[in-house]
């Protein structure tokens, strides 16, 4: 698993507790660029195939879950994250204990 996949998985597991810097790094990992900052709003521009995508994310502490989920949905369209790799081995002990 690559570093960007680990970062993405960590953010997806807890979208309510994400630092702005971590979300910015994740977007940059997938080719998005911070193009403009106006007040507290940061505009990121990237491409999904041939389509240009602009994401506007307000800098608030904590980041609102809706913006994190929107970023994750777009990244999932760009590169689906195989959840089978990340969940391998989890939950096996619970089934045996019953």
Residue 92 above 80 pLDDT? Answer: no
Residue 12: left if φ>0, alpha if ψ -120 to 50, beta else—which one?
A: alpha
Share of the chain above pLDDT 90, in %: 41
Q: What is the per-residue pLDDT for 5? A: 87
Residue 74 above 60 pLDDT? Answer: yes
**Mean pLDDT of all residues in 52-79:** 90
Q: What is the per-residue pLDDT for 50? A: 87
For 29, which DSSP code? Answer: H
Q: What is the per-residue pLDDT for 89? A: 43
How far apart (Å, rounded) are the C-alpha atoms in residues 18 and 66?
12
Can you say how many angstroms the Cα of residue 4 is from the centroid of all Cα atoms in its chain? 9
């Amino acid at each position: 698993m690559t570093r960007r996949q680990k970062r993405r998985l960590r953010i997806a597991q807890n979208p309510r507790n994400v630092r702005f810097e971590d979300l910015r790094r994740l977007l940059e990992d997938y080719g998005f660029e911070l193009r403009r900052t106006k007040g507290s709003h940061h505009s990121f521009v990237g491409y999904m195939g041939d389509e240009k995508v602009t994401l506007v994310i307000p800098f608030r502490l904590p980041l609102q879950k809706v913006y994190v989920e929107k970023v994750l949905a777009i990244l999932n369209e760009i590169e689906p994250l195989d959840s089978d790799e990340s969940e391998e081995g989890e939950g096996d002990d619970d089934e045996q204990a019953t």
